[in-house]
Each structure stands twice: as structure tokens, then as C-alpha cells.
Amino acid sequence: MTGRVHAPRFAGEVALVTGAATGIGAATARALAAEGAAVVVNHWRTERPARAVVEAIESEGGRALAVEADVSDADAVARMVATAHEAFGSIGILVNNAGVISRAAVTELEEAEWDRVVDTNLKGVYLVTRAVVPDMIESGRGRIVNISSDLALTGEARLVHYCAAKSGVIGLTKALAHELIPHGINVNAIAPGMTETPMLTANPVTYNPERERSIPAGRWGRPEDIAASVCFLASAEADYYVGWLLSPNGGIAM
């Protein structure tokens, strides 16, 4: 007797993952595609790695499309969503992952850098969500997963702009959840801990053996750890999660 074959969780779905060329976004795009979703791989000035994600998905029998767009630019976002519609149809799963980081003491932080970090990490979530939600409302269903950070919970010196933006993502998530659940759209967030991505490894002050040993779980997070949480929140299994924050962080914040 053969075992039951389970259908992929996201068969027939269209997913948009922002900032999906590397790290958490790339792992999430591949995980959603492996479960049957057609995936729009958003990137900004990272065409080669984004293309590599698409090729990896296609090599495994999935469907994907790389689309370049600055999520802090409303016109670029509108073009991206239009391209997704033309290629795959309406978006039913949105993962707002695009983010940037820099470090500076508050007394040295330039206004332009504050704007760059906040616009990408927070305004981008608003702009992409605003562009995608009308189709979700029309269809009466949808899943939105916003990527925050454990630093929104703990704070860190020299990261006031980043922590402010990622804290804003949590507040935005909860407000959206109230507003959109009557339309069948579940909105939740994830606050990853220190995850082994290019954003982390580029900073030797943080990415070092001593810091890794300080994590109660004894290791860095892996992009796949976060992608698994995204897939859960995007699935029917999480139907009763509304405005919730999951924080896979290895015990850094409990």
C-alpha cells in the first residue's frame, strides 16, 4: 500500500518576495516555489544573484521571475506588480523582506541615511502592500508576511534608524491585520535573530565566533530557518494567526 501523496501547500498560488536575491529572501522564494507557488523574485541592483535564484527554482521544476524594483519608489512598485500580473496573475502571498542596514552613532547619522534605511525597511512595506492588497480584497483571501528583526525587540547601539524602522514594521503589521482580516487577508510578521546572510557576514563586529557563542542555541540562524516560518504563516495551517509576531532567534530574545 502506497502512502498518501500530499499536494504542495501553495499549488496555484502566486507569491511576491521582496529583496529575494540573497539571504532570507532567496531561501523564502525557493521554499515557496518548492511548495508549488509561482514566485516573483524582487531585487534591486542585484540582477545576477536574483537570476541565480530563478534558475535554481526552474531547475527544480518551479516557476519564477526576477523583477528589479526599488521598493521605496511607488512607481517602480506599481510596475513590478503589473509585471507579476502579466506573468502569473494576481498575487496571493506577499513577503515584505527587502531591507538595508548601516551603522552610525545618532550624533553622526546623516538625515539622508536615516531616510534611506527607513524608506526601504518601512515605507517599502507600506508601498508594496498598498499595491498588492486590492487584488487580495477582490479575491477575498491573501497572506502577508512582513520581516522585522529581533533588534526591534531589543534595540542596539548605532542602529537607531534600523531599529526604528523594524519596530515600525511590527506596528504596521498589527494595524494592517485589524484592517484586512475582515477581507480574509491574514497579516503577520517575523522578527529573525542573527541569521547568516550577507547583511550579517559583512559586519565583522557582529559576525564573529564570540558573538555566535553568545546565542543560547549555539549557532547563527540559517535563512532556511526563517523561510520555514514564512511558509507556515503563508499556509492554511496559520489561518488563525492574525497580527502575530514570530521570532526565530535562537534564544537571543525570549
Angle between helices 223-234 and 23-34 (to 10 degrees): 50
How many Cα atoms sit within 13 Å of 254 on the Cβ side? 6
How many Cα atoms sit within 13 Å of 252 on the Cβ side? 25
138-169 confidence digits (pLDDT tens):
999 999 999 999 999 999 999 999 999 999 99
What is the reported pTM?
Answer: 0.96
Q: What angle do CA 196, 153, 122 make, to 5 degrees?
A: 80
Question: Does domain 14-246 bear CATH number 3.40.50.720?
Answer: yes
Domain ranges of the chain: 14-246
Report pLDDT for 254.
84
Q: Which of 97, 102, 128, 125 is nearest to 23 (CA)?
A: 97
166-200 confidence digits (pLDDT tens):
999 999 999 999 999 999 999 999 999 999 999 99
Confidence band of 4 (pLDDT split at 50, 70, 90): low
Report pLDDT for 170.
98
198-249 confidence digits (pLDDT tens):
999 998 888 999 999 999 999 999 999 999 999 999 999 999 999 999 999 9
37-46 confidence digits (pLDDT tens):
999 999 999 9
Would you list the DSSP string of the chain? -PPPPPPPTTTT-EEEESS-SSHHHHHHHHHHHHTT-EEEEEESS-HHHHHHHHHHHHHTT-EEEEEE--TT-HHHHHHHHHHHHHHH-S--EEEE---------TTT--HHHHHHHHIIIIIHHHHHHHHHHHHHHHHT-EEEEEE--THHHH--TT-HHHHHHHHHHHHHHHHHHHHHGGGTEEEEEE---SB-SHHHHT-TTTSSHHHHHTSTTSS-B-HHHHHHHHHHHHSGGGTT--S-EE---TTS--
Contact 253, 247 (CB under 8 A): yes
Report pLDDT for 1.
46
Report pLDDT for 5.
62
Give mean pLDDT, residues 12-32: 98
Q: Tell me, what amino acid is at 172?
A: L
Report pLDDT for 3.
60
73-125 confidence digits (pLDDT tens):
999 999 999 999 999 999 999 999 999 999 999 999 999 999 999 999 999 99
Residue 162 bears catalytic tag: yes
Q: In angstroms, rounded to a whole number, what is the distance separating the alpha carbons of residues 143 and 130?
A: 13
The active-site residue out of 126, 162, 207, 241 is: 162
Cell of 166: 523594524
58-67 confidence digits (pLDDT tens):
999 999 999 9
R_g of the chain, CA atoms, integer Å? 18
Report pLDDT for 209.
95
Contact 91, 102 (CB under 8 A): no
With a cut of 60, say whether residue 2 has pLDDT above it: no
If you search the block for the grid coordinates 542596539, which residue do you land on? Answer: 156
Report pLDDT for 6.
73
Contact 41, 53 (CB under 8 A): yes
Give mean pLDDT, residues 246-254: 94
